[in-house]
Amino acid sequence: MAVYSFYIFDRHAECVYKRRWLPRPASIAGKSRPTSDTPTVANGLATMPSTRTTDDDAKLIFGTVFSLRNMVRKLGGEDDNFVTYRTSQYRLHYYETPTNIKFVMLTDTKSPSMRVALQQIYINLYVEYVVKNPLSPAEHPGGLGVDNELFEQSLEQFVTRVLS
């Protein structure tokens, strides 16, 4: 199983952490819905030059999970939440804490549910290393984000050892 990328969004809708493991393979270049400025080519994938940056990706992903979450809640009630969705190219896993921190992971389509893994990342890594670090700011305004070596190292280990 391959993990493509991982994002954390805080309650202010700010992307406070992003990490990509593989250089985006051409085959998942179309991983966000095609928009007007990224015209889809005949076979739908692969050949279009990617003009999006990781920042754009993060915004698109936030938009996707934010809208999807709200629609899911409208349909299934306030406590409902979506867990994952899958396209032909990737699978997106989603975990949101009651404090509105959103954890998003993109993996290949064959991967099992990552909900527990995301929860583990929140409980054992994010809370332990970021929240409990007295010198790290409680909020991460202005795109500064989580800049914490312990967290990054442990995340790296978690993803390479536990998930692969």
Query: What distance lies between CA 71 and its chain's CA centroid?
Result: 19
Supply φ then ψ for residue 33, to 5 degrees: -55, 135
Site size for another protein (CB under 8 A)? 22
Distance CA 146, CA 152 (A): 9
Distance CA 90, CA 150 (A): 28
Q: Are 107 and 93 in contact (CB under 8 A)?
A: yes
Among the residue ranges 10-18, 29-37, 108-116, 154-162, the one whose residues contact another protein (CB under 8 A): 10-18
- If binding is defined by CB under 8 A, does position 23 make contact with another protein? no
Determine the 3-state secondary structure of 121 from DSSP: helix
Query: What distance lies between CA 105 and its chain's CA centroid?
Result: 4
Cα angle value 23/151/94 (rounded, 5°)? 65
Min. distance of Cβ 66 from another protein in angstroms?
A: 7
- If binding is defined by CB under 8 A, does position 12 make contact with another protein? yes
- If binding is defined by CB under 8 A, does position 51 make contact with another protein? no
- Binding mask of the shown chain, residues 80 to 119, with x at each position contacting another protein by CB under 8 A: -----------------xxxx-------------------
Among the residue ranges 22-30, 55-63, 109-117, 148-156, the one whose residues contact another protein (CB under 8 A): 55-63
β-strands 3-9, 102-107 pairing: antiparallel
Min. distance of Cβ 96 from another protein in angstroms?
A: 10
Among the residue ranges 32-40, 45-53, 59-67, 155-163, the one whose residues contact another protein (CB under 8 A): 59-67
The single residue among 41, 47, 50, 66 that binds another protein, judged by CB under 8 A, is: 66
Kindly state the helix (H) or strand (E) to which residue 73 belongs, with its residue range. Answer: helix 54-76
Applying CB under 8 A, the residues found at the interface with another protein are 11-14, 59, 62-63, 66, 78-79, 97-100, 122-123, 126-127, 131-132, 138-139
